[in-house]
């Protein structure tokens, strides 16, 4: 029977959506009452201080390229603030992004190349190569920790005019903590399920009236509950110093070092799940294996080291003109051996069923060196206001892969053993480099107090050089071109607090734009999608119409948007020739609703709902014959709310819904074509013992819901969702 869960939301989804949209009306009524109360008291002379901004609703983006407040930005923008990261104990980027509807690690990778690190899907597209730290691309497939993160900014829709080559779905930016003019310490020690232990330290020292030093430290060690043999251990330190704070000339110097040693998770075999079938009677009649089952070997490991140095110089020529120059050098070294089950080539021996265990291995170094100069100016000409941001970027990105490989081996599909000898085999090294010169300019033009126009463009001149060896031969390929990306928008203020907007943007991704790897008609055309040097850049066009309302003294932001993204020149695998051809197109359209901020002085909210209708042309993209984009939930919902019950007690609760995920179409047979929708609820309780100490208890997956968080390309394996876990944290402030 065809799964209908991706056709329309369940009654629970409709109920929650009704409650969520009804919240707009409730909040609007509260706002009207507040306004009415103010009018009734207009005969009194009242002196009030400026209201403090909500910690749930940052009012502007951190980058120098964005010329308007978030409430007046003509795109879908969501920010996961530091306050929410703390309350949820969201210690990784992937955890934090669960606060944005339709965004998540839904795809666990190819059969022979399991995804590592933050493999993020957004609006139907892999967005892993569009992750930035302080506006600079953060390369490498690692798991990013949030111990040195202030906010996480999510911009949906093409961001090519902002960053150059980027994913069609948008960008994710992690804003780092910076020194400030105060002296204080925030520290935490936590213990939780599966012997999870975590400690952090945030120490800020004011050295004089204009200079401050800050250091953030993290240590984290534990196992993964619900999974055998999976563990992690990581440490990080991020010292920084700032000069000239509060003056017209400022200098920031930052360093970040993170080291992680862990056992990677290759997932669980999908035997016994709905939709699974096999010609082997033992498998066809088997029950699902335990979600704890480990299909790796005792030799599996992951070792990551990241070192990043950043300097940022800022100078205010006056109140209306600021120059910013940023230089960054970053290197990420990653080594791993990850085993993943593959249910092909099945054999039976002594009443046991065996398949193949693929050995995914890597020994890579990613480097980036960039210098970015930005000039921001505000001025008026003939009564028309301008807010201009323009700049130039010089960037070199390098990828090096050293020979390192292991042969696949046999594995018992129903009762795997980790005690297996692994055999080194021939490895093929590769080298990739992309040099880029980017020039951009943005302007927000205020025509009247109610009407403004905004636009921007960026030109990137790039050259990618790829050298690689494989079983099929040697490659020495180059690709160079110029990319032109642009955006344009209009905004009309209906009232002082609410607006309507429209926006259109174009973004492009050239061959080799994801991982610097290139192929030609004679090498690997059957295994690499959009990397052929004869292909034209993948092009995304997005149109969006929306409204934003900033209420309660700008403490609460309500947003609604309708969008459509069309991706052209998409490389699709031709089922006849088994080669990639550039005749595909994709479309993602739908709407999003969001709320973030303070509903009252004691009730704080962050919530969102997204409906994504997707399709592909010229091909059936999923294994069940539909043309929807795989690994993309049609309906998704997320919420997090806290209530200050008393001066020293805060309670928090959140719920997430992810709709049905469909698997991509390929040659696999007998594997599940989709995995079901699910709800997950989390909670938090905090007790402030005194001004120095508070205790916080987080419980995740309250109902111990069993769900599938991600599925691999062919459906042979899945990543189980985390079971019910808890974390008790002591926070110290002085």
455-467 pLDDT tens trace: 999 999 999 999 9
Handedness of CA 380, 381, 382, 387 (dihedral sign): negative
**Is residue 1 predicted with pLDDT exceeding 50?**
no
Quote the tokens at residue 378: 């505000």
Question: What is the C-alpha to C-alpha distance for residues 491 and 62, in angstroms, rounded to an integer?
Answer: 21
**The predicted structure's pLDDT at residue 722:** 94
Which is more confident, 313 or 165? 313
Q: What is the dihedral of CA 544, 547, 550, 551, to 10 degrees?
A: -150
The pairing of beta strand 268-269 with beta strand 249-262: unpaired
How many CB atoms within 10 Å of residue 711?
29
Residue pair 428/470 in contact by the 8 Å Cβ criterion: yes
Radius of gyration of the chain (CA): 26
219-255 pLDDT tens trace: 999 999 999 999 999 999 999 999 999 999 999 999 9
Residue pair 698/729 in contact by the 8 Å Cβ criterion: yes
**The predicted structure's pLDDT at residue 671:** 87
**Is residue 640 predicted with pLDDT exceeding 70?**
yes
**Range in 86-90, 207-211, 430-434, 529-533 with the lowest mean pLDDT:** 529-533
Which is more confident, 598 or 277? 598
Instruction: Of 252, 239, 235, give the one whose Cα is nearest residue 203.
Output: 239
List alpha helices for 174-294, DSSP H.
Answer: 281-284
Cβ neighbours of residue 365 closer than 8 Å, sequence gap 6 or more: 331, 332, 333, 334, 398, 399, 400
522-555 pLDDT tens trace: 655 555 566 778 788 888 899 999 999 999 989 9
- pLDDT (mean) for 122-131: 88
**The predicted structure's pLDDT at residue 311:** 98
Instruction: Of 658, 722, 558, give the one whose Cα is nearest residue 101.
Output: 658
Q: Reduced to 3 states, what is the DSSP secondary structure of residue 82?
A: helix
Q: What is the dihedral of CA 91, 699, 184, 198, to 10 degrees?
A: -50
Give strand pairing partners of 461.
437, 482
**Is residue 133 predicted with pLDDT exceeding 50?**
yes
Instruction: Of 167, 170, 75, 161, give the one whose Cα is nearest residue 457.
Output: 161
Band the pLDDT of 293: cuts 50, 70, 90. Answer: very high
Give strand pairing partners of 374.
324, 391
**Is residue 33 predicted with pLDDT exceeding 60?**
no
List alpha helices for 152-300, DSSP H.
Answer: 160-163, 281-284
**The predicted structure's pLDDT at residue 521:** 67
Residue pair 173/149 in contact by the 8 Å Cβ criterion: no
Q: What's the chain's average pLDDT?
A: 88
Which is more confident, 469 or 243? 243
- Burial (CB count within 10 angstroms: exposed 0-12, middle 13-18, buried 19+), residue 605: buried
Question: What is the C-alpha to C-alpha distance for residues 81 and 555, in angstroms, rounded to an integer?
Answer: 13
**The predicted structure's pLDDT at residue 112:** 63
- Separation of first and last alpha carbons in the chain: 60
**The predicted structure's pLDDT at residue 8:** 38
492-514 pLDDT tens trace: 999 999 999 999 999 888 887 77
Residue pair 608/16 in contact by the 8 Å Cβ criterion: no
Question: What is the C-alpha to C-alpha distance for residues 648 and 294, in angstroms, rounded to an integer?
Answer: 43
Give strand pairing partners of 187.
201, 732
560-579 pLDDT tens trace: 999 999 988 877 766 666 67
**The predicted structure's pLDDT at residue 573:** 65
Residue pair 555/57 in contact by the 8 Å Cβ criterion: yes
**The predicted structure's pLDDT at residue 24:** 42
Q: Give strand ranges (E) for 530-671.
A: 538-551, 556-573, 580-598, 603-617, 635-646, 649-658, 661-662
Quote the tokens at residue 211: 């200079």
* Cα 272 to Cα 61, 109, 357, 679, distances in angstroms: 47, 21, 19, 22
Question: What is the C-alpha to C-alpha distance for residues 128 and 169, in angstroms, rounded to an integer?
Answer: 10
**Is residue 126 predicted with pLDDT exceeding 70?**
yes
């Amino acid at each position: 029977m065809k799964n209908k869960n991706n056709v329309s939301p369940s009654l629970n989804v409709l109920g929650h959506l009704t409650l969520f949209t009804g919240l707009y009306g409730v909040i609007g009524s509260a706002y009207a009452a507040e306004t009415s109360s103010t009018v009734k008291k207009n005969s009194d002379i009242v002196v009030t201080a400026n209201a403090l901004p909500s910690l749930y609703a940052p009012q502007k983006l951190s980058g120098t390229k964005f010329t308007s407040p978030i409430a007046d930005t003509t795109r879908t923008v969501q920010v996961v603030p530091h306050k929410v990261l703390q309350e949820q104990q969201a210690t990784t980027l992937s955890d934090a992004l669960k606060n944005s509807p339709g965004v998540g690690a839904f795809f666990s990778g190819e059969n022979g190349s399991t995804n590592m690190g933050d493999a993020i899907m957004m609006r139907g597209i892999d967005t892993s190569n569009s992750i930035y730290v302080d506006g600079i691309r953060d390369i490498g497939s690692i798991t990013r920790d949030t111990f040195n993160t202030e906010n996480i900014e999510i911009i949906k829709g093409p961001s090519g005019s902002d960053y150059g080559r980027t994913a069609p779905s948008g960008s994710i930016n992690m804003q780092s903590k910076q020194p400030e003019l105060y002296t204080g310490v925030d520290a935490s020690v936590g213990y939780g399920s599966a012997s999870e232990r975590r400690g952090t330290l945030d120490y800020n020292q004011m050295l004089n009236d204009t200079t401050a030093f800050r250091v953030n430290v993290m240590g984290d060690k534990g196992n993964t509950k619900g999974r055998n043999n999976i563990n992690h251990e990581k440490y990080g330190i991020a010292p920084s110093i700032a000069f000239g704070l509060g003056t017209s000339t400022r200098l920031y110097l930052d360093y970040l070092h993170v080291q992680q040693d862990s056992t990677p998770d290759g997932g669980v075999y999908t035997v016994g799940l709905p939709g699974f079938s096999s010609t082997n009677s033992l498998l066809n009649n088997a029950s699902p294996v335990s979600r704890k089952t480990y299909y790796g070997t005792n030799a599996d490991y992951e070792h990551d080291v990241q070192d990043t140095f950043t300097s940022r110089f800022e100078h205010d020529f006056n109140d209306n003109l600021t120059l910013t120059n940023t230089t960054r050098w970053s290197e990420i070294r990653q080594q791993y051996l990850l085993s993943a089950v593959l249910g092909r080539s099945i054999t039976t021996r002594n009443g046991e069923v065996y398949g193949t265990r693929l050995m995914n291995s890597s020994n890579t170094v990613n480097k980036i060196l960039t210098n970015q100069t930005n000039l921001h100016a505000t001025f008026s000409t003939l009564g028309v206001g301008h807010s201009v941001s323009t700049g130039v970027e010089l960037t070199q990105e390098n990828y090096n892969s050293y020979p390192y490989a292991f042969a696949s081996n046999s594995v018992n599909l129903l009762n795997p053993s980790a005690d297996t000898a692994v055999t080194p085999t021939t490895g093929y090294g590769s080298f990739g480099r992309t040099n880029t010169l980017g020039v951009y300019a943005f302007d927000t033009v205020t025509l009247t107090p109610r009407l403004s126009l905004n636009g921007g463009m960026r030109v990137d001149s790039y050259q990618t050089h790829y050298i690689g060896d494989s079983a099929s031969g040697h490659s020495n390929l180059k690709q160079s071109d110029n990319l032109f990306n642009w955006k344009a928008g209009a905004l009309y203020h209906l009232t002082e607090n609410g607006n309507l907007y429209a926006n259109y943007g174009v973004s492009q991704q050239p061959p080799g734009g994801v991982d610097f790897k290139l192929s030609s008609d004679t090498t690997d055309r059957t295994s690499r999608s959009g990397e052929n040097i004869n292909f034209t850049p993948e092009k995304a066009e997005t149109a969006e119409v929306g409204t934003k309302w900033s209420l309660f003294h700008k403490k609460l932001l309500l947003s609604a948007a309708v969008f459509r993204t069309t991706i052209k020149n998409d490389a699709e695998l031709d089922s006849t020739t088994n080669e990639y051809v550039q005749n595909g197109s994709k479309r993602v359209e739908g709407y999003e609703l969001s709320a973030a901020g303070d509903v009252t002085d004691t009730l704080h909210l962050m919530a969102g709902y997204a409906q994504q209708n997707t399709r592909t042309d010229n091909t059936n993209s999923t294994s069940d014959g539909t043309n929807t984009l795989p690994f993309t939930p049609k309906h998704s919902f997320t919420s997090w709310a806290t209530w200050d019950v008393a001066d020293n007690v805060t309670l928090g609760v959140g719920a997430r819904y992810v709709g049905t995920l469909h698997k991509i179409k390929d040659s696999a047979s007998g594997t599940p074509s989709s995995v079901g929708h699910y709800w997950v609820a989390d909670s938090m309780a905090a007790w402030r013992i005194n001004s120095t100490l508070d205790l916080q208890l987080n419980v995740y997956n309250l109902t111990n819901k069993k769900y599938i968080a991600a599925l691999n390309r062919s459906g042979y394996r899945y990543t189980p969702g985390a079971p019910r876990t808890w974390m008790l944290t002591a926070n110290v402030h002085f």
